[in-house]
Amino acid sequence: RYHAFAIESTKHGLECHACDFRGHGQSGGSRGDIGSLSGAVSDAVALVVSTQQLTPRLPVIIFGHSLGSLIAYLVAHKLAQDTTLPTPSAVVLSGFAMDSLSPPFGVDALIPVLRSLPSAVRSISAMLSSLTPQGPACPLPMPEELTHDTQEAAHVRADALHHHGWICNRTALCLLDARAQCRALLPRWGERFPFLLVHGGDDRLCPRSACDALMAASPQSDKHLKIFEGMYHEVLHETRKQEVVQYILDWMLPRIGAQLPRSRL
């Protein structure tokens, strides 16, 4: 889904590599079931490491959107904390999903419970994940709630590789655990790399409170938050997507240097 962003990035000498979560896109597994949080993080770390081994002189930039932003957050921290792994030169998170407006189990009345009693919601989610891993946990938003671009929304509806319907119980549990881990890391996250947060001002899925919390807590001095007013959750698939792409590139390129060595790939 980020092909256009990747193509634009390659015009500036960047190489783009991505992996589909298990149960998503072209990866195997039950549809919509990422399996485990640790597995998702390990898979992404393995992608970074295997690519960096082929191109050891190239800087590493980590990008993630929504659920991918949580995984990217955890991956970037793991890379930066392990001296045997490549430390990111920059990290970009889109639609940072540490906070959510999605109703637990599809019940709007439970949103306050998720905020005030997260451990109770987590316990119920863990039980359901154990009993029926692929059972429905909460509904996914409609494409029209994610972007104003009607063509993009129609493309999502027609995309057979895009997961539709409900988030399954096991993935919902992974989401809750990822959010908890992200919160625990807030005071230390970004110590060794600059980061950019891009977020839609009218995001109906993930409030900007997560971005504000990260900006306030991170010890990194080179940290930036860009709110694109009037946009929904999918800022890279909005009607003004080129504006978002250009903003990200303008932020990234100075942080990795104007002259990049030639890739061996």
Domain ranges within the chain, ordered by starting residue: 3-256
The pTM assigned to this predicted structure is 0.92
Q: 3-256 architecture in CATH? A: 3-Layer(aba) Sandwich (3.40)
pLDDT of residue 262 exceeding 60, the answer is no
pLDDT of 247? 98
- Of the candidates 167, 59, 152, 158, which has an alpha carbon nearest to the alpha carbon of residue 106? 167
Q: State pLDDT tens for residues 190-210.
A: 999 999 999 999 999 999 999
> Using one digit for the tens of pLDDT, what is the confidence trace for 57-74?
889 999 999 999 999 999
- Chain centroid to Cα 231, Å, comes to 17
Please choose, from the candidates 200, 208, 198, 184, the residue with its C-alpha nearest in 3D space to the C-alpha of residue 100.
208
| pLDDT above 60: residue 100 | yes
Q: What is the pLDDT of residue 259?
A: 43
Percent of the chain with pLDDT over 70: 92
CA–CA dist 43, 248 (Å, integer): 25
The span from the first CA to the last CA of the chain, in angstroms, equals 22
Which pLDDT value is given to residue 113? 66
The dihedral through the CA atoms of 126, 131, 134, 138 has a sign that is: negative
| HEC-encoded secondary structure of 154-219 | HHHHHCCCCCCCEEEHHHHHHHHHHHHHHHHHCCCCCCCCCEEEEEECCCCCCCCHHHHHHHHHCC
112-139 pLDDT, tens digit per residue, is: 666 777 788 889 889 999 999 999 988 8
- Residue 178: pLDDT over 90: yes
pLDDT tens string 72-83: 999 999 999 999
